[in-house]
A and B are shown apart, each in its own frame.
Chain A
Amino acid sequence: DAGVTQSPTHLIKTRGQQVTLRCSPKSGHDTVSWYQQALGQGPQFIFQYYEEEERQRGNFPDRFSGHQFPNYSSELNVNALLLGDSALYLCASSRQGNEKLFFGSGTQLSVL
């Protein structure tokens, strides 16, 4: 049973560029959440997708957007990258109505 998978594992971008991160949920899960984890900090909630719609959003600017596909996989897009966007981006999946989150290993994004 595959867990939550994310790609790529590492990414280097320059300021102003755009990036797309991908996530496949754990088998049987239909809900995907994205979190940003800065070095030495706890994860911060970006948004959650269910039934291909954004259901809740954290305190992140519109530069952060997402999508969920019919197979429940998801993408996180970040436009106009800033140096402060450098972080580990974690995807977590769950079953709707179940609070237990299962995390992927993350994408380490470096913005130079």
Chain B
Amino acid sequence: GENVEQHPSTLSVQEGDSAVIKCTYSDSASNYFPWYKQELGKRPQLIIDIRSNVGEKKDQRIAVTLNKTAKHFSLHITETQPEDSAVYFCAASQRGRRALTFGSGTRLQVQP
């Protein structure tokens, strides 16, 4: 089955700096890669996703890149703000399969 590894487990940045979270996946058949943000005590919220036919996708301060050859994808947050502080999860799934396999999460802390 699919295995998703995520690092770092914790990340502390100063407000205004950039943050990068990296994930690797094992199954070359995976073709959908979402990122979720989970604030303390709240539901995971989809913040951005990318499919395997695209190498990069941006949405305001958030971007995701995908390297299919190396089987890794990354989340980039620019101009970080204190409200970006949360746990971020990457995930992967295959077309036609219904389960998301999640990474273990990255706790991002943005220091004001």
Flag if A45 contacts B100 (CB, 8 Å).
Answer: yes
Interchain nearest-CB distance for A40 vs B (Å): 7
Which residues from chain A contact B6 at a C-beta distance below 8 Å?
42
- Give the contacts of A19-53 with B (CB-CB under 8 A): 31, 33, 40-45, 48
Q: How would you classify the secondary structure of chain A's contact residues: helix, strand, loop or mixed? A: loop
Flag if B34 contacts A42 (CB, 8 Å).
Answer: no
Interchain nearest-CB distance for A75 vs B (Å): 18
Determine which residue in B1, B42, B45, B100 has the highest number of CB atoms from chain A within 10 A of its CB, and name it.
Answer: B100
Which residues from chain A contact B32 at a C-beta distance below 8 Å?
99
Which residues from chain B contact A105 at a C-beta distance below 8 Å?
42-43
Interchain nearest-CB distance for B41 vs A (Å): 8
Flag if B44 contacts A43 (CB, 8 Å).
Answer: yes
Flag if B43 contacts A45 (CB, 8 Å).
Answer: no
The verdict on A66 contacting chain B, using a C-beta distance below 8 Å, is: no
Flag if A106 contacts B99 (CB, 8 Å).
Answer: no
Which residues from chain A contact B103 at a C-beta distance below 8 Å?
42
Cα distance A105–B41 in the bound complex, in angstroms: 8
Cα distance A101–B25 in the bound complex, in angstroms: 19
The verdict on A58 contacting chain B, using a C-beta distance below 8 Å, is: yes
Flag if B97 contacts A56 (CB, 8 Å).
Answer: yes
Flag if B99 contacts A56 (CB, 8 Å).
Answer: yes
Cα distance A103–B36 in the bound complex, in angstroms: 10
**16 A-B residue contacts at CB 8 Å?**
A40-B105, A42-B6, A42-B91, A42-B102, A42-B104, A44-B102, A45-B99, A45-B100, A90-B44, A99-B34, A100-B46, A101-B100, A103-B43, A103-B44, A105-B42, A105-B43
Interface positions of A (Cβ within 8 A of B)? 4, 31, 33, 40-45, 48, 55-56, 58-59, 90, 99-106
Interface positions of B (Cβ within 8 A of A)? 1, 4, 6, 32, 34, 36, 42-46, 49, 89, 91, 93, 95, 97-105
